[in-house]
Amino acid sequence: MFALHHLSAQELWDWIRRGDATALEVTDHYLERIARLDPTLGAFVTVTAEDARDRAARLGELVPTSRPLWGIPTGDKDLYDRAGVPTRSGSTTLPVVPATVDHPLVSALAAAGTVSLGKTSSPEFGMSSSSETRFGVTRNPYDTERAPGGSSSGAAVAVAAGLLPAAVGTDGGGSVRIPAAATGLVGLKPSRGRVPSMPGRSGLGGLAVAGPITRTVADAGMLLDALVAPTGVPERVPYALVTPEVGEGPFTAAAVRGEGRFTIGVLDGSPWDDTVDVVVDPAARAAVETAVRVLGEVGHGVEDLAMPRLPYADAFRVAWESSAAGLPRVPGIDLTQATPLVAWLVERGRALTATQVLDAMAALDAFSVGLVRAFDRFDAVLTPTLALTPRPLGWYGDDPEEDFRRQCAYSPWTSMANVSGLPAITLPVGATDAEHPDGAGLPMGVQLIGRPGGERVLLAIGAQLERRLRWQRRHPACW
């Protein structure tokens, strides 16, 4: 039987604009699903039902109906402040007090016309791809004994399970693409500087940017158009890459048309191979083979590409450790309550010297230059998104060194796109079969890494694959 959550975000937006459904009806539908399904899944840490219904009822008074996501329900990743709602950051170390101002990303989504239904879960301070926190576990809707990955854990689970039509996550080393791949979704990490409200300029190395998590490629283009729109972004936030008036037209158009023939490199190896034992599951290889086959059928040129031998792992580890060094300065924080991983990262980060950090940043800059040169003759480079199937709950363990190693082994191809600033998209091309030891039906994705500013090419290729593989029809049992 048809229900509103069966609609894509684009279709839902059309329904609301035509008057076939009101923003309040849509909000109520999703809130009912959250109340019924989320106690098992743990996608939300806070549900703001009363505020959501009030905003949906008054949305026409607050935001013009012309805004790009008018009436679309969404959630805020619980690392970013929304005024009046506590920000938990996946941690029991922080005082539970309401935020006083909105984060620029939250402001931008509100200005685009969204209705926030609450805060979606994240591992502690977004420092892990685990989905287990001190006050809750977020479960993969395809197998609730498995994790969705992180750090945009709750956002991906909410979209996959039909608790939200689409969501925006943030990605500092794969945090949009990892959970999207593990839950059968499209996840897009834009180029550094593409999204004005979170351009990747804050934080060491400029790693983290905001990006869409959606069921379809067209929805990803739609959300990216909304994120790059200047409406509602504070003037103090610069437009580092491009404004909507410059470039090649809307991202949605590229995602809907799906036009073009391109040269695609199939990457052999990862930047972690010299320091981590990267074991690629046959299901991950099969996903790449499926993508290569379909890309060839479409008419793209597909060539093999060896991973360039560039120093990487030690420098990235320093960047990740140093990003935790400032946590003790957060007002009211009690790091005696931190998870072993975060406590370890803080300790290691605060022990680094300025020279060590500067040397690591120089090494990552050199890596970026070398990677862009190696990829330059290709319009996109194809990798598995994840080396393994979605991980069982508890897989990361309590030993922080092993936790970090396992994160790198699970997603060895994602962080290099953050370091280089290149755009990257994960696409849910396949699933495990009945012969797989982990069972049938676990989502498996591939990643495409584009040229600087090359999101439209990634969306176009994604649309071509989607038309033939029809992944938008796959859903977990709770759907």
- The span from the CA of 95 to the CA of 367, in Å, is 39
Residue 237 has pLDDT above 70, yes or no: no
- Burial code (b: 16+ CB inside 10 Å, e: under 16) for 107-118 equals bbbbbbbbbbbb
Q: What is the pLDDT of residues 426-448, one digit of tens each?
A: 999 999 999 999 999 999 999 99
Predicted confidence at residue 235, as pLDDT, reads: 45
Task: Provide Rg for the chain, Cα atoms.
Answer: 21
| 143, 395 contact by CB (below 8 A) | no
Average pLDDT score over residue span 232-245: 46
pLDDT band at 82 (very low <50, low <70, confident <90, very high): very high
Structure tokens given for 261: 């023939």
Predicted confidence at residue 240, as pLDDT, reads: 47
Residue 57: CB atoms within 10 A of its CB come to 14
Predicted confidence at residue 199, as pLDDT, reads: 83
Q: Which residue has the higher pLDDT, 323 or 39?
A: 39
State which amino acid sits at residue 158: A
pLDDT band at 248 (very low <50, low <70, confident <90, very high): low
Residue 239 has pLDDT above 80, yes or no: no
Q: Does 323 participate in catalysis according to the annotation?
A: no
Predicted confidence at residue 229, as pLDDT, reads: 80
- The span from the CA of 384 to the CA of 99, in Å, is 38
Q: Picking from 3-17, 107-121, 246-260, 459-473, which range would have the lowest pLDDT averaged per residue?
A: 246-260
- The span from the CA of 417 to the CA of 187, in Å, is 13
Q: Does 77 participate in catalysis according to the annotation?
A: yes
pLDDT band at 156 (very low <50, low <70, confident <90, very high): very high
Tell me, yes or no, whether 7 lies in a domain.
Answer: no
Predicted confidence at residue 231, as pLDDT, reads: 53
Which residues, listed in sequence order, are joined to residue 450 by a DSSP beta bridge?
380
- Catalytic: which of 175, 270, 323, 368? 175
- Preceding peptide of 151 cis, ω within 30°: yes
Average pLDDT score over residue span 376-380: 97
- The span from the CA of 105 to the CA of 82, in Å, is 10
Tell me, yes or no, whether 4 lies in a domain.
Answer: no
pLDDT band at 242 (very low <50, low <70, confident <90, very high): very low
The secondary structure of 431-462 as a DSSP string is E--TTSTT-S--EEEEEEEE-TT-HHHHHHHH
pLDDT band at 246 (very low <50, low <70, confident <90, very high): very low
Which residues, listed in sequence order, are joined to residue 209 by a DSSP beta bridge?
171
| 272, 312 contact by CB (below 8 A) | yes
Q: What is the pLDDT of residues 136-155, one digit of tens each?
A: 899 999 999 999 999 999 99
**What does pLDDT average to over the chain?**
94
Predicted confidence at residue 205, as pLDDT, reads: 77
pLDDT band at 166 (very low <50, low <70, confident <90, very high): very high
- Preceding peptide of 130 cis, ω within 30°: no
Predicted confidence at residue 470, as pLDDT, reads: 97
Predicted confidence at residue 1, as pLDDT, reads: 85
Predicted confidence at residue 135, as pLDDT, reads: 78
Average pLDDT score over residue span 279-284: 98
- The span from the CA of 475 to the CA of 479, in Å, is 6
- The span from the CA of 153 to the CA of 61, in Å, is 33
Read off the DSSP letter of residue 73. Answer: E
Average pLDDT score over residue span 326-353: 93
Tell me, yes or no, whether 5 lies in a domain.
Answer: no
- The span from the CA of 142 to the CA of 133, in Å, is 20
| Helix pair 104-111, 217-228: axis angle to 10 deg | 110
Domain enclosing residue 279, as ranges = 12-473
Q: Picking from 50-59, 232-241, 314-323, which range would have the lowest pLDDT averaged per residue?
A: 232-241
- The span from the CA of 118 to the CA of 84, in Å, is 11
Q: What is the pLDDT of residues 97-129, one digit of tens each?
A: 999 999 999 999 999 999 999 999 999 999 999
Domains in the chain, number: 1
pLDDT band at 302 (very low <50, low <70, confident <90, very high): very high
Q: Picking from 198-207, 256-265, 294-303, which range would have the lowest pLDDT averaged per residue?
A: 198-207
Predicted confidence at residue 202, as pLDDT, reads: 66
| 152, 214 contact by CB (below 8 A) | no
Q: In this structure, are strands 209-214 and 301-306 parallel, antiparallel, or unpaired?
A: unpaired
- The span from the CA of 396 to the CA of 355, in Å, is 31
- Catalytic: which of 116, 151, 191, 197? 151
Tell me, yes or no, whether 177 lies in a domain.
Answer: yes
| 268, 304 contact by CB (below 8 A) | yes
| 41, 139 contact by CB (below 8 A) | yes
Q: CATH number, domain at 46?
A: 3.90.1300.10
pLDDT band at 450 (very low <50, low <70, confident <90, very high): very high
Tell me, yes or no, whether 6 lies in a domain.
Answer: no
User: Would the pTM of this model clear 0.75, i.e. be above it?
Assistant: yes
| 425, 185 contact by CB (below 8 A) | no
Tell me, yes or no, whether 479 lies in a domain.
Answer: no
Average pLDDT score over residue span 358-372: 96
Q: What is the pLDDT of residues 456-471, one digit of tens each?
A: 999 999 999 999 999 9
pLDDT band at 241 (very low <50, low <70, confident <90, very high): low
| 201, 222 contact by CB (below 8 A) | no
| 411, 178 contact by CB (below 8 A) | yes
Tell me, yes or no, whether 304 lies in a domain.
Answer: yes
Q: Does 175 participate in catalysis according to the annotation?
A: yes
Predicted confidence at residue 249, as pLDDT, reads: 77
pLDDT band at 133 (very low <50, low <70, confident <90, very high): confident
Predicted confidence at residue 476, as pLDDT, reads: 97
Tell me, yes or no, whether 384 lies in a domain.
Answer: yes
